[in-house]
Amino acid sequence: MSLTDKTIAELRDGFRAGDFSAREIAEEFNAAVDAADALNAYLVKTPELALEAAEAADKARGSDSLKPLSGIPLGMKDLFATEGVLTSAGSKMLGNFLPPYESTVSANLKAAGAGMLGKLNMDEFAMGSSNETCAHGPVISPWRREGSNAAITPGGSSGGSASAVSARIAPGATGTDTGGSIRQPAAFTGICGIKPTYGRCSRWGIVSFASSLDQAGPMARTVRDCAIMLEAMCGFDPKDSTSLDVEVPQWEAGLSSDLKGKKVGIPREYRIDGTPGEINALWDQGVEWLRDAGAEPVEISLPHSKYALPTYYIIAPAEASSNLARYDGVRYGLREVVEGGGLHDMYKATRAEGFGDEVKRRIMIGTYVLSAGFYDAYFTKAQKVRALIKQDFRKAFEQCDMILTPTAPSAAFALGEKSDDPIAMYLNDVFAVPASLAGLPAMSVPGGVNGDGLPLGLHLIGNELDEQTVLNAGLAIEERAPSIELPKKWW
């Protein structure tokens, strides 16, 4: 078994036991990364940083200075600012941006001993569900439909992360999730991904999309690996006013698939017309697995679920239209000067050239819903509905400890299949978005494959700060679901 086939926990334990060195791990992954250009998952490769961390890990082996992630090289979504390493957010706008600072989350991982394999491709400014909005070309999933060579999307926006982990060119990767961007790609590629409670991971140094929704989280092959990474990523950060000043639990140590005494809520409103039968069948199967693990299923109601997506598509673009105003060609990034033009001509030309279509579309929507005369009708209304959605969850968690739904309404689709219908694309996140609006922890775990042999995910939503229950239920599913064989190398 090649080292790249191992999980983070296996690599960590094997390295500690002296079965192999950190250097060997880093070298194998670096080589695998180099051999996987066809996936377009890495925008920047940093083999030297992976080796540097490996060297430190090998030196520390057997000593007190060994850290939780010593010996583990990881992939970093390009949304995290990495000091001196190109950080483009998948955009032409930041095509030359070398941050003089390191994001808190990536710094936390570094401090925990992890190395960095490189920066992972993503939808531009994290806006997309298929990784087709990236300025550097789409990411290709290592998965293919049975009997087809058509390129499949790994999902988005953390598509590079998903593709890299499922192709075993990173044992784990960071993702960010604003409205499903960790969970949907995890589901599409047969891996795990968790978005913690809003405020668990510092947003400092993560290129903002929608501030009230953005949250970082890990993507990895197993629930345990997610727990390991999440522990290292989370933590109070005084530089982020929305960071939670609470202790980080020992999630890995707390893992248990015994769900006796727990209630799992099944929201009746998530039975949506037109959802493929295989999705609903998997969902029913998931309920049985959790029952088998000791949990008691209860029907719950989240009456405003249907409005979550439109609410999201007002709030997220509104915040984004303001967050992305800083890309003006003055202090960093692209600048387009108009011959004989002034400052405002430069702004317009720079932003026309630097942003792709989806980003422009969302800035336009966001600008419109905040503009004079429309603010109350759209933005304030959406904030009110968001309050109702939050309230729905509050009530639901009086009756249950976790909620189970499908992660996405379909398996991964082929590149180009949905790219000319924005709303069809947005519907990918129909199950993922409510938890984002409510700031709740939520995770996707692989449940099985569909008729085409493509992976499907199950989605667990937990109460505020209760990542442990989410992880434990994820573990229970992981233990019972048929093990998914990761795609054979064709790249």
- Interactions with other proteins, residue window 428-467 (CB under 8 A): 437-439, 464
Q: Specify the amino acid at residue 380.
A: T
Pairing relation of β-strands 115-120 and 73-77?
A: parallel
Q: What's the CA gap between 132 and 134, in Å, rounded?
A: 6
Q: What's the CA gap between 189 and 309, in Å, rounded?
A: 23
Q: Which stretch binds other proteins (CB under 8 A): 10-18, 69-77, 81-89, 270-278?
A: 81-89
Number of chain positions touching other proteins (CB under 8 A): 97
Pick the closer one to other proteins by CB: 35 or 352: 352
Q: Specify the amino acid at residue 488.
A: K
Q: Are 188 and 154 in contact (CB under 8 A)?
A: yes
Q: Which of residues 124-143 bind other proteins (CB under 8 A)?
A: none
User: Any contact of residue 301 with other proteins (CB under 8 A)?
Assistant: no
Catalytic residue check, 157: yes
User: Any contact of residue 424 with other proteins (CB under 8 A)?
Assistant: no
Please, what's the largest Cα pairwise distance for the chain? 72
Q: Are 91 and 354 in contact (CB under 8 A)?
A: yes
C-alpha separations of 462 from 357, 392, 393, 394 in Å: 35, 13, 9, 11
Q: What's the CA gap between 44 and 339, in Å, rounded?
A: 33
Q: Which of residues 159-218 bind other proteins (CB under 8 A)?
A: 197-199, 203-208, 210-213
User: Any contact of residue 363 with other proteins (CB under 8 A)?
Assistant: yes
Pick the closer one to other proteins by CB: 118 or 439: 439
User: Any contact of residue 287 with other proteins (CB under 8 A)?
Assistant: no
Q: Which stretch binds other proteins (CB under 8 A): 40-48, 87-95, 182-190, 226-234?
A: 87-95
For other proteins, the binding residue among 35, 38, 98, 111 (CB under 8 A) is 98
Q: Specify the amino acid at residue 94.
A: L
Pick the closer one to other proteins by CB: 178 or 285: 178
CA 89 to mean position of chain CA atoms: 14
Q: What's the CA gap between 342 and 395, in Å, rounded?
A: 55
Please, what is the end-to-end C-alpha distance for the chain in angstroms?
19
Minimal distance in Å, beta carbon 382 to other proteins?
A: 6
Q: What's the CA gap between 217 and 194, in Å, rounded?
A: 6
Minimal distance in Å, beta carbon 143 to other proteins?
A: 30
Pick the closer one to other proteins by CB: 57 or 385: 385
Q: Which stretch binds other proteins (CB under 8 A): 257-265, 349-357, 397-405, 476-484?
A: 349-357
Catalytic residue check, 257: no
For other proteins, the binding residue among 43, 127, 152, 244 (CB under 8 A) is 244
User: Any contact of residue 477 with other proteins (CB under 8 A)?
Assistant: no
Coil, strand, or helix at residue 76?
strand
Pairing relation of β-strands 215-220 and 172-177?
A: antiparallel
For other proteins, the binding residue among 136, 349, 417, 480 (CB under 8 A) is 349
DSSP lists the bridge partners of residue 220 as 172, 192
Q: What's the CA gap between 422 and 408, in Å, rounded?
A: 16
User: Any contact of residue 58 with other proteins (CB under 8 A)?
Assistant: no
Q: How many alpha carbons fall within 13 Å on the CB side of residue 469?
A: 25
Eight-state DSSP code of residue 207: P
Catalytic residue check, 45: no
Residue tagged active-site, from 67, 77, 92, 418: 77
Coil, strand, or helix at residue 404?
strand
Residue tagged active-site, from 88, 130, 141, 157: 157
User: Any contact of residue 394 with other proteins (CB under 8 A)?
Assistant: no
For other proteins, the binding residue among 371, 399, 479, 483 (CB under 8 A) is 371
Minimal distance in Å, beta carbon 361 to other proteins?
A: 6
Minimal distance in Å, beta carbon 447 to other proteins?
A: 28
Pick the closer one to other proteins by CB: 111 or 423: 423
User: Any contact of residue 70 with other proteins (CB under 8 A)?
Assistant: no
Q: What's the CA gap between 52 and 50, in Å, rounded?
A: 6
Pick the closer one to other proteins by CB: 153 or 311: 311
Tell me the three-class secondary structure of 443-462, residue by residue. EEEEEEECCCCCEEEEEEEE
Q: Specify the amino acid at residue 64.
A: D
Q: Specify the amino acid at residue 182.
A: I
User: Any contact of residue 360 with other proteins (CB under 8 A)?
Assistant: yes
User: Any contact of residue 122 with other proteins (CB under 8 A)?
Assistant: no
Q: Which stretch binds other proteins (CB under 8 A): 62-70, 250-258, 338-346, 479-487?
A: 338-346
Q: Which stretch binds other proteins (CB under 8 A): 24-32, 37-45, 324-332, 408-416?
A: 324-332
Q: Which two tokens stand for residue 254?
A: 């707390």
For other proteins, the binding residue among 372, 398, 485, 488 (CB under 8 A) is 372
Instruction: Give catalytic residues, as residue numbers.
Output: 77, 157, 181
